[in-house]
Amino acid sequence: MARMKFLCDADRCIECNACVTACKNENDVPWGINRRRVVTINDGKPGERSVSMACMHCTDAPCAAVCPVDCFYTTEDAVVLHSKELCIGCGYCFYACPFGAPQYPKVGNFGSRGKMDKCTYCAGGPEDDLSAAEQAAYGSNRLAEGKLPLCAEMCSTKALLAGDHEMISEIYKERVSKRGYGSGAWGWKTAYKETINV
Of positions 2, 12, 66, 164, contacts another protein by CB under 8 A: 66
Least distance to another protein, CB of residue 129, Å: 21
CB 15 within 8 A of CB 160: no
If one asks whether residue 98 binds another protein (CB under 8 A), the answer comes out as yes
Question: Rounded to an integer, what distance in angstroms lies between the CA atom of residue 46 and that of residue 25?
Answer: 34
Q: Which of 13, 20, 123, 152 binds another protein (CB under 8 A)?
A: 20
- What is the closest distance, in whole angstroms, from the C-beta atom of residue 181 to another protein in the complex? 5
- Residue span 33-52 as binding mask against another protein, x where in contact by CB under 8 A, dash where not: -x--xxxxxxx--xx-x-x-
Burial class of residue 125 (count of CB atoms within 10 Å of its CB; 0-12, 13-18, 19+): buried
Smallest gap from Cβ 122 to another protein, in A, equals 20
Burial of 15 (0-12, 13-18, 19+ CB in 10 A): middle
31 binds another protein per the rule CB under 8 A? no
Residue 25 near another protein by CB under 8 A: no
Closest by CA to 134, choosing from 85, 184, 79, is 85
Touching another protein, residues 126-185 (CB under 8 A)? 179-181, 183-185
Under 8 Å between Cβ of 198 and 176: yes
- CA dihedral (166, 169, 175, 181) in degrees, to 10, reads -150
114 contributes a contact to another protein by CB under 8 A: no
The smaller minimum CB distance to another protein, of residues 143 and 151, is found at 151
Separation of alpha carbons 4 and 9, rounded Å: 16
Q: Are 25 and 13 in contact (CB under 8 A)?
A: no
Among 28, 131, 147, 189, binds another protein (CB under 8 A): 189
- State yes or no: residue 109 binds another protein (CB under 8 A): yes
Residues lying near another protein in the complex (CB under 8 A) are found at 11, 15, 17, 20, 32, 34, 37-43, 46-47, 49, 51, 53, 62, 65-71, 85-92, 94-100, 109-110, 112-113, 179-181, 183-187, 189-190
